Amino acid sequence: MKVSDAVKQRKCIRAFVDTPVENGLIKSLLEKSARAASGGNLQPWRIFIINNETMTSFLEHLAAWNSPETPSYDVYPKNLTEPYRSSRYKVAMDMYELLKIKMEDKEARMKQLLKNFEFFGAPAAFFCYVDRQMGPPQWSDLGMFLQTFMLLAKEEGLDTCPQEAWATRPESVSNFVEANEELMLFCGMAIGYIDTEAPVNQLVTEREPIEVWAKFVEK
């Protein structure tokens, strides 16, 4: 598969089938992903994989957790301005339309939101952590690592969903994976095979035209 094809075909999958993913394949993809660009070669990503029986144990652990949690960070700015606010609103509306969920149906919307914390049924996943001493430049390294992983996964016939929603559950996750206090939970990554029958997987998010966000500077 060409890189350009992987980029075009990759999208966030929100419904997976239960076909297992081999640990060896995940390990291989992670090792290859570590070639992603990293400022100063810090390689700040710290990865915890859950798969097979561990996934079942984790979901049981999460269901039993009843202590309050403090989010690692704000996933979105509190006062999001245009055009970002409209972009976020539209992708939500497009998804709910595919699921036949009305905006006023808060219960159905919450039910869909909570599927994040089941990895949308994916049989495998990992959590990406970063040392708390790191700043925005190293967070960009995480993004490059995660994108590389998703493209390589696509090449292998796998689908993924990067999930910053997990940043709202740092205590329960860290307790399970035994991450030390110096590490901050950045996101989760669902890994598996797409459920082609699920309407939500028809969602393809729009992209703004290049004229909106790029400028060839000529002087």
Q: What is the pLDDT of residue 10?
A: 97
Q: What is the pLDDT of residue 188?
A: 98
Q: What is the pLDDT of residue 103?
A: 87
Q: What is the pLDDT of residue 73?
A: 95
Q: Which two tokens stand for residue 188?
A: 């989760």
Number of other CB atoms surrounding residue 29 within 10 Å = 23
Matching CATH number, 3-75+117-206, of 3.40.190.80, 3.40.190.10, 3.40.109.10, 3.40.50.720: 3.40.109.10
Pick the closest to residue 150 from 158, 142, 139, 140 (CA basis). Answer: 158
Q: What is the pLDDT of residue 186?
A: 98
Helices (H), the chain: 3-9, 23-33, 53-64, 84-98, 106-114, 136-155, 170-177, 210-213
Which residue numbers in the chain have pLDDT < 50? none
Q: What is the pLDDT of residue 29?
A: 98
